[in-house]
Amino acid sequence: MNALAPEMPVEARSALELNRALRMATPFEVIESALKTVGRERLALVSSFGTESAALLKVMADVDPAIPVIFLDTGWLFAETLAYRDTLIDTLGLTDVRSIKPLEETLGREDPERDLWFSDPDACCRIRKVEPLSRALAPFAAWLNGRKRFQGGARADIPVVEEDGVRLKFNPFANATREEIEAIYRDGKLPPHPLIASGYMSVGCMPCTSRTASGEDARAGRWRGRAKTECGIHTMKTS
């Protein structure tokens, strides 16, 4: 890893400077740097506990298993995802996983029939993911997520560190290859998400997730048949 210049405190570094310093760093080094930059009480990891989530959670646990983990329980998740969350908490020894839900008042006002996912999936993601995450991140100065450049689309050019409104956003796996992710699973003996065996290569909410056919991109089963490719939490600017 490129060492941070000793004449400038880490806390004073901008996202651009941190990104430059960490551009060749390992995921462990990125998370370790994030922790040193803002401290455990001001750093959160956001995880969907999806098909590739265990790798990032494993690296985080190797750095510090007490880093807060935010899990968005949208009300539309597969039962297998909820069970997988509990399995990984026990397997990795995570000590501060916070399950965040949308406000009942908001759901009653904007999605009383639970069909908003069909008529306006962007609005559904907003009230079930974007708004709850914005609330959950309020106490934090930086957050970690598992996006990777090899996932393509809007993720193809993500930096290792970026500005996200008033927060720093660390992407420890920005440079990772699919083979490196697989190696973390193999070496760490991590359990796979139970839906992978059924053909789900990327898992989100039940109504907007489908199986992926052989040869398709791993995220092809998300919002199939729509132009939508992101839920919005990675395109919002947190405040």
pLDDT band at residue 230 using 50, 70 and 90 as cut-offs = confident
pLDDT band at residue 124 using 50, 70 and 90 as cut-offs = very high
> Would you name the residues annotated as active-site residues?
231
Strand segments (E) across 136-228 = 142-144, 161-164, 167-170
For the entire predicted model, the pTM comes to: 0.87
Compute the Cα dihedral for 23, 26, 30, 32 and give only its sign.
Answer: negative
User: Over the chain, what is the mean pLDDT?
Assistant: 89
CA–CA gap between residue 188 and residue 96 (Å, rounded): 21
Q: Which range has the worst mean pLDDT, 9-18, 93-102, 164-173?
A: 9-18
pLDDT band at residue 11 using 50, 70 and 90 as cut-offs = very low
Structure tokens at 186: 């193999």
Question: Which listed CATH number (3.90.226.10, 2.40.128.50, 3.40.50.620, 3.50.50.60) goes with 10-102+140-193?
Answer: 3.40.50.620
Q: Tell me the mean pLDDT in the region 15-21.
A: 94
Give tens-digit pLDDT for 35-83: 999 999 999 999 999 999 999 999 999 999 999 999 999 999 999 999 9
Say if residue 7's pLDDT is above 80: no
Give tens-digit pLDDT for 144-188: 999 888 776 767 778 999 998 889 999 999 999 889 999 999 999
pLDDT band at residue 125 using 50, 70 and 90 as cut-offs = very high
The H or E element containing residue 36 is: helix 27-38
CA distances from 184 to 44, 59, 102 (A): 21, 8, 32
Say if residue 220's pLDDT is above 80: yes
Q: Are strands 161-164 and 97-100 parallel, antiparallel or unpaired?
A: unpaired
